[in-house]
Each structure stands twice: as structure tokens, then as C-alpha cells.
Structure 1
Amino acid sequence: MPKNTYTAQFKADAVHLYESHPDLGYTKAAEDLGIARGTLKTWVRQDRIKRGAPTQQSTGSAQMPDPELSAEQRLLQAQAENQALRERNKTLESANSVLAEERDILRKATKYFAAETNW
């Protein structure tokens, strides 16, 4: 299978398209451009490294503390992150309870309709 080669301008335009539309994911952007998702992701990562920008978007993973911050500033940063994670956890727990209720309703409906069926 032949390996596709793309011009530097095409790569730059693809990265610019992805970066300029935050609601556009790798998959959709790559599909629109007719390239593989991994290819676009690699180009974006390489461009971010070249610019010195962070290479990951918000993934929810812990970040390394900035060594130039004082211990007090790192503590405040950690406390703020902890609070944000607690709020996110609370949101996910409430969403989970709603899904559990929906699942229980569907189970009851399934039992009701299964008992009613006489084939």
C-alpha cells in the first residue's frame, strides 16, 4: 500500500483547522480532510512541540507541578484542582444515579411487557 505524502502547507492547514475549531475532534477533522485520525494527531502534537505549547489538551490527568512555583502556590494549585475534581465527581455521581433510575424503569417495563406477551 503506497504511503501518502503531504505538503508542509497541507499539514499546517490541517493543524490550523483543528486548532481553530475547539469543538471539532480529531476524528471529525481527519474525516473532513480525508486523512487518518492518527496522522492528524501526530501533526498537531509535532506542531505543539515546535511552538512550545502543551502537547495534551485537558484530559483530566494530573499535571506535573511547575518547579518555579513556591510551595505555597503549589499547595493552592493542588487545592483548587482537588476542589474541581470533587465537583466533577459529584456531577458524575448524580448522572450515574439518573442512569440507574432509567435502567430500573426499563427493566420493569421489560418484565411487564414480557409477562403480557402470549404467543
Structure 2
Amino acid sequence: MKTYPPQFKADAVALYESRSEATIRSVAADLGINPETLRNWVRAVGVSRPRGRRVEVPAEPPTPLEAENAALRKKV
């Protein structure tokens, strides 16, 4: 089992965080490390991203009903 210096781990996680479009698998491939290794480092630091397909932010402003719903969600 390989051991990596703490600075390398921190840099790898920072690289993953800085590339919003990148996956753990793609960053790990760029660095030449196992994706599970990078995934463990990311989890240890507490970085999280939504799973699945990324949803684009709507270009239009929310309708009054959507704005009201968002305000009610914040209260709860």
C-alpha cells in the first residue's frame, strides 16, 4: 500500500474542489492515483457535492409562487 505525503493529499483534494465539472475518477486519473484513495481523502476533509447529474441554474427569475415557496422552506 502506498503512502502519500500530507501536502500531496491536500493538493489533490484542493484540485478536486477547484474543478466543479470534474469527477473524483477524472481527477484521480490525472494524478495517477486510485479513485477510491482520492474519495477517502475527500470524505476525510468533508468536501461534498450533489450526486447524479448536475442541474443547471434557471436563467429566468423565479415566479412569485416559486419565490414564496423558497421563502417558506427557509423558515422551516
TM-score (normalised: structure 2): 0.65
Counterpart Cα distance in 1 of 2:33 and 2:43: 16
Gaps of 5+ in 2: 53-71
TM-score (norm 1): 0.43
Q: CA RMSD in A?
A: 2.0
Rate the CA distance shift 1:59–1:77 in 2: closer, same or farther, 3 A.
farther
Matched to 1:56, the amino acid is S
Q: Which stretches in structure 1 are left out of the alignment for 5+ residues?
A: 49-54, 61-75, 79-119
Larger Rg: 1
Distance of 1:34 and 1:16 partners within structure 2: 16
Per residue, is there more helix in 1 or in 2?
Answer: 1
Provide the secondary structure at the position in 2 that maps to 1:38. helix
Hey, what's the Cα distance between the residues in 2 that align with 1:28 and 1:59? 15
C-alpha offsets along residues 61-94 of structure 1, whole Å, 9 cap, x if unaligned? xxxxxxxxxxxxxxx329xxxxxxxxxxxxxxxx
Considering Cα pairs closer than 8 Å and 6+ residues apart, tell me whether 1 or 2 has the greater RCO. Answer: 2
- Structure 1 segments of 4 or more deviating over 3 A? none
Q: Secondary structure at the match of 2:33?
A: coil
Identity across matched positions, percent: 45
